[in-house]
Amino acid sequence: MTLAENDRWLLSFYRSSEINGALFFGRIARTVSAGRLQSEVTHHFTDEANHAWYWTECLNDLDASPIKLREAYQDQYLQAIGLPANLMEVMAITQVFEKRVISQYRQHLRAPGLHQRVRQTIEKIMIDERWHVQYVRDALRDMEGKYGADRVAATLARFTAADEEIYAKTLAEYGERIGFLDPAAAQIAEAP
Amino acid sequence: MPAGMLLATCDTPLAPDELTPGERRIFSALPSSGPRQRTWLTARRALRRALAASGRPADTSRYPMPNRAVSVSHTARLAVAAVLPSACAAVTGMGVDIELGRRPKPASARFFLSGPEQRWLAAVPAENQPDALLRLWTVKEAVFKADRANAVATLGDYEVAAPAGYRGHARRTRPPGSVRPAPGEPSPQETQFSYRTVALPRGFLSVAIALSPSWRTAPMQTVDFGQVAQRVSSLISVPVARLTPETKIAELVPDSFTFVEVAVDFQEEYDVVFDQEDLKALHTLGDLAALLDSRRADRDD
């Protein structure tokens, strides 16, 4: 089968975002002190790298080579909210991002005519993503003693607000490539 | 800083008839025209408050300035007094300075900042330079007041170890040869200082103490620049010999991810926390060492 160019672009965008996630978490895994979080962050790093590989294989299986994209969804976070200043902010931004990823993949699973190979890849990745949200949530709870519960909550609220803006901007920029994200299109697809 | 230092502020002057005989003698020598008498009376009220809270005698004329345990500063409307409640062998002088709403002229920097301090200031983004200059002014003033051998010194005779720090150490760099210390007093070239600065809505407040040589033999643990340079070198593969306190971080790290990695690594290693404002103020490796030192001292308080 020949993958539509927009689908090829989207899967390549996923791949690029997973690669950037792996590169970022590889760096964080190097810096976190020994302990449970170090193990979890290192696991997260390997997950992101694996996801990039899954998308590469998925594209290859669909006879489509990945487009070499430089941009990734995470880049926009740094532009919008600045650099995370400490480990708590790294985990908070991760929490917000992972939730966005799950939401995006869920919507993609509902897209009409979704290829089985793409569905299989998303479902495989979603298993890991759910664990990411869970361990990061627990880590943030553990950090409340050091950073303050109010500060953690305020950081999450700030990053969530930024994420909503970034997502809206992404839709405006790439919406025509991602037809299933259009609310009207989604309604039609879900109608009995 | 010793734990128990007392600060008091006041915006209302003492009534002249409330003065003690000793205070009245000082007051009568002040020029009667202009604001000098009012600001002096306001500062004396602030000092009395701090003295009362410390349990020291409240007659402010008993504390000639510069003083081992007492200092005052004032703006046009507000006065602040700093008092060390009990004798502390580690402290040989006390200084406080407050500045609100004033901005030193940029050209004045060369008169009160050392060469390294001026170079640091030049690396600060232009929009932040007025605040940085005012902050350093208050630090220098506080340090100057804490130096009891300051008779022929100028602000430019003192240098802070890390200009970015709101907390840190300073030293006297140019001892005047004509001054001989009193018996038992440290010579000027031996004098070192510890200071802390607080940002206020329209300015800064700095408090400094002069440290006796014996105190400096057992100082609180500080972050050594050599350790910082070694760690940066291993993190980003730059020869340690190339790293100095003036090295600009932006020229070292190739991308923002690396900057985050370095920042998080140091926080994990030193068990401290930075925030976004801290990162914005980090320009050089000296700034990083000062920030680590400051945060670790805060944590240990």
Q: What is the CATH number of the domain that holds A100?
A: 1.20.1260.10
* Mean pLDDT estimate for chain B: 84
Chain B residues 272-291 with CB within 8 Å of chain A: 273-276, 278-279
Tokens representing B91? 């402290």
Which residues touch A154 (CB under 8 Å, ≥6 apart)?
none
> Regarding predicted confidence, which is higher, B48 or B166?
B48
C-alpha to C-alpha distance for A111 and A180, rounded to whole angstroms: 5
Using the beta-carbon criterion (under 8 Å), do B265 and A31 form an inter-chain contact?
yes
C-alpha to C-alpha distance for B165 and B222, rounded to whole angstroms: 13
For chain A, what's the residue count? Answer: 192
User: What pLDDT does B178 receive?
Assistant: 46
* B261-297 per-position pLDDT tens digit: 999 999 998 889 998 888 888 888 888 988 888 888 7
User: What pLDDT does A191 receive?
Assistant: 36
Using the beta-carbon criterion (under 8 Å), do A31 and B275 form an inter-chain contact?
no
User: What pLDDT does B176 receive?
Assistant: 52
Domains of chain B: 1-62 (no CATH), 89-216 (3.90.470.20), 225-300 (1.10.1200.10)
Structural domain range at position A157? 5-190
Q: How many domains does chain A have?
A: 1
Chain A residues 48-107 with CB within 8 Å of chain B: 78, 82-90
Q: Is the pLDDT of residue B182 over 70?
A: no
Using the beta-carbon criterion (under 8 Å), do B275 and A32 form an inter-chain contact?
no
User: What pLDDT does B243 receive?
Assistant: 86
User: What pLDDT does B201 receive?
Assistant: 85
Q: Are B116 and B65 in contact (CB under 8 A)?
A: no
Chain A: closest CA distance from residue B235 (Å): 9
Chain A: closest CA distance from residue B277 (Å): 9
Chain B CB contacts of A24 under 8 Å are 257
Of B167, B198, B130, give the one whose Cα is nearest residue B291.
Answer: B167
C-alpha to C-alpha distance for A63 and A60, rounded to whole angstroms: 5
* B53-75 per-position pLDDT tens digit: 888 888 998 888 999 899 999 98
C-alpha to C-alpha distance for A40 and A139, rounded to whole angstroms: 10
User: What pLDDT does B190 receive?
Assistant: 63
Of A142, A126, A155, A151, give the one whose Cα is nearest residue A47.
Answer: A126
Q: Is the pLDDT of residue B199 over 60?
A: yes
Q: Is the pLDDT of residue B135 over 50?
A: yes
What proportion of chain B, given as a percentage, has pLDDT over 70? Answer: 88
B269: nearest CA partner in chain A: A33
Chain A CB contacts of B256 under 8 Å are 78, 83
> Dihedral (C-alpha) A129, A135, A138, A139: value to the nearest 10 degrees?
-120
Q: Are B67 and B42 in contact (CB under 8 A)?
A: no
Q: Is the pLDDT of residue B82 over 80?
A: yes
Q: For residue A132, give the amino acid letter.
A: H
User: What pLDDT does A190 receive?
Assistant: 37
ipTM field: 0.81
For chain B, what's the residue count? Answer: 301
Q: Check residue A179 and report its DSSP letter.
A: G
Residue for token digits 């006297």? Answer: B172
Q: Are A74 and A24 in contact (CB under 8 A)?
A: yes
Question: Would you give per-residue pLDDT tens digits along chain A (192 residues)?
Answer: 568 888 999 999 899 999 999 999 999 999 998 889 999 999 999 999 999 999 999 999 999 999 998 766 777 777 788 789 999 999 999 999 999 999 989 999 998 889 999 999 999 999 999 999 999 999 999 999 999 999 999 999 999 999 998 888 877 777 777 766 655 444 433 333
* B221-270 per-position pLDDT tens digit: 467 788 888 899 989 888 888 888 888 998 888 888 888 999 999 999 88
Mean pLDDT of B176-205: 71
* B14-51 per-position pLDDT tens digit: 999 999 988 998 999 888 887 888 999 999 999 999 88
